[in-house]
Amino acid sequence: MVLFHSMTTVLIYTVVTVALLIAYGTGRNPFRAAGLFIRNLFVSRRYLFHFVALIAILFCNKYELLIEKKMQYHADFTHAIQSMEGNFVMLFQQLFHTPWLTPVLAFFYIVVFQSLLIASIGVYTYMDKSKKLYYATCYAVMLNYLIAIPFYLFFPVKEVWAFNPSVHFYMLESFPDFENQYRGLSGLDNCFPSLHTSISVTMAIIAIRSGIRKWAWFVSASAAIIIFTIFYMGIHWLTDMMGGVLLAVFASAMGFKLSDMRLTSVRRVRIPYAAGEELK
């Protein structure tokens, strides 16, 4: 079943999914969260700075592909990974492949994955007045990319289907033009660590720590489905997934630590100022 005909289709699905997720996470009209997000961009320089920094890091992932093309570095560690894992992904596909399941998993891999990140920003902006969760999300996602990009440059590992002819790339059944339309966002040898794993698990950890139970359940379930998908589609090695989980645990922990440091420094600045005003 063809689900995506172009990136325009992906964009439409993503916009609708983000709106539904924000409504689910906040229990409110998603336009209220969107309005609060826009307001914060204008009234808080810190909020704006972190959002711009997050967008910049996401663009760095795209420029990494351009840098990689210009580098005179031709190492390939795929064979070493395959020698350790054997035919795990091939056996996984043989066990679980079902035609009706493919479009569902394709939707999670392409649409839900990116929608969770966008919706998380909206949910935490609306639900958390201290903005700690928002800042933790920004820091954690930036760390994921900053740590992963050097691996993509200097530890290239090809996607499983591109290395092992026995593994099928089932994504093409739902997105026939994937290689032309979507490949520009993800290099064929940018496998270790799996950012689909690390970002989705990072979002799950933050969601669990947010205390918003229904949001935590959904984000955690989505992370599990996305991890299942990277094997089902024949994209990632087991090693990629394990590296992604470790990266997620580190990035989320550091994200909260940096967020706490930021909030502490803000309080230290504001308390003397407030005391001075009382004396006046």
Answer yes or no: is 241 within a domain.
Answer: yes
Residue 266 confidence (pLDDT) above 90: no
Interacting residues of 19 by C-beta distance below 8 A, sequence separation 6+: 30
Mean pLDDT value of segment 209-227: 97
Q: How confident is the model at residue 111 (pLDDT cuts 50, 70, 90)?
A: very high
Phi, psi angles (nearest 5°) of residue 233: -80, -10
Percent with pLDDT over 90 in the chain: 80
Answer yes or no: is 1 within a domain.
Answer: no
Cα separation, 12 vs 34, whole angstroms: 17
Token pair listed for 191: 């496998």
Apex 196 CA angle, 229 and 177, nearest 5? 65
Least confident of 107-116, 177-186, 230-239: 177-186
Mean pLDDT value of segment 134-154: 95
Residue of 218, 225, 53, 63 lying closest to 140 (CA atoms): 53
Answer yes or no: is 2 within a domain.
Answer: no
Q: Structurally, how many domains does the chain consist of?
A: 1
Work out the burial of residue 97: count CB atoms within 10 Å of its CB; fewer than 13 is exposed, 13-18 middle, 19 or more buried: middle
Interacting residues of 159 by C-beta distance below 8 A, sequence separation 6+: 169, 188, 189, 191, 234, 235, 236
Q: How confident is the model at residue 277 (pLDDT cuts 50, 70, 90)?
A: very low
Interacting residues of 63 by C-beta distance below 8 A, sequence separation 6+: none
Residue 71 confidence (pLDDT) above 90: no
Alpha helices in 3-112 (DSSP H): 7-26, 30-43, 45-70, 78-85, 88-96, 101-107
Answer yes or no: is 37 within a domain.
Answer: yes
Predicted pLDDT of residue 271: 47
Give the residue with greater pLDDT, 189 vs 280.
189
Answer yes or no: is 187 within a domain.
Answer: yes
Mean pLDDT value of segment 110-139: 95
Mean pLDDT value of segment 191-205: 97
Q: How far apart are the first and last CA of the chain?
A: 70
Predicted pLDDT of residue 272: 47
Cα separation, 102 vs 149, whole angstroms: 29
Question: What pLDDT digit, counting tens, does each position of 86-99 carry?
Answer: 999 999 999 999 99
Distances from the Cα of 51 to the Cαs of 71, 173, 181, in angstroms?
Answer: 30, 35, 26
Least confident of 76-85, 88-97, 178-187, 204-213: 178-187
Predicted pLDDT of residue 263: 63
Give residue 138's domain range.
7-279
Token pair listed for 254: 């550091």
